[in-house]
Amino acid sequence: MKIHLHGYKRSCTSRPGFTLVEAIVAMAVVGIVVMALYGGITSSFLIIRIARENLRATQIMLEKMEVMRLCTWDQVNSNGFIPSTFTASYYTKNSTNLTGVTYDGTITIAPVTALQINGSYNDDMRQITVNVGWTTQNQNHNRQISTYVSRYGIQNYLFN
């Protein structure tokens, strides 16, 4: 028994599928999305690394300032008791080896001449500045913190 279907024609244009142009456009869109995702992940790792290095620099500066709080007035004023330069390291574990950043710093102690609140007291007050610098991926970074130290306490100069 033969069945004849009249009016049914098989043509190439009626088959379901994608054209070559549609496939190329879809691949281009997928490529752009993948590249954007890769760029976002890469930049986020770099931002986290810089934030860690900034935090470590702040910790080093605060550590040096806390040491200054323990010094007496004579120790602050003596030459050589507080070293003017220092080096601190920060190491991170990178799969099989240690990679790290070296922080180079300076400590400067200078007389205060610009502040004239209650008369001249250049002999009784010092400005201490801690400066920390490091290099990451051929880019220099620098942080600085400053404070005042007084012979008899800062309250004697600010409050009467």
Question: 5-9: long-range contacts at Cβ-Cβ below 8 A with a sequence spacing of 24 or more?
Answer: none
What does the pLDDT read at residue 131? 97
Give residue 90's pLDDT.
80
Identify the burial level of 42 via C-beta atoms within 10 angstroms of its C-beta, where 0-12 means exposed, 13-18 middle and 19 or more buried.
exposed
Flag whether 1 is in a domain.
no
* 101 DSSP β-pair partners: 90
Q: In the chain, what is the straight-line distance between the N-terminal and C-terminal CA atoms, in Å?
A: 120
Q: Does residue 4 sit within a domain?
A: no
Instruction: Give residue 160's Cα distance to chain centre.
Output: 42
**Range of the structural domain that residue 23 is part of:** 18-158
Name residue 109's beta-bridge partners: 128
Low-confidence spans in the chain with pLDDT less than 70: 1-15, 92-99, 114-122, 153-160
Residue 10, pLDDT score = 55
Q: Which two tokens stand for residue 119?
A: 């008369």
Residues in a beta bridge with 88 = 103
Cα gap 145→105, rounded to integer Å? 11
* Cα–Cα nearest to 90, from 50, 120, 143, 144: 50
Q: How far is CA 77 from CA 19, 26, 128, 137, in A?
A: 82, 72, 11, 38
Neighbours of 93 (CB within 10 A): 9
Task: Look at residue 63 in the predicted model and tell me its pLDDT.
Answer: 93
Does residue 27 fall inside a structural domain? yes
Residue 12 placed within a domain? no
The domain tally of the chain equals 1
Residue 10 lies in a domain: no
Q: Is 100 part of any domain? A: yes
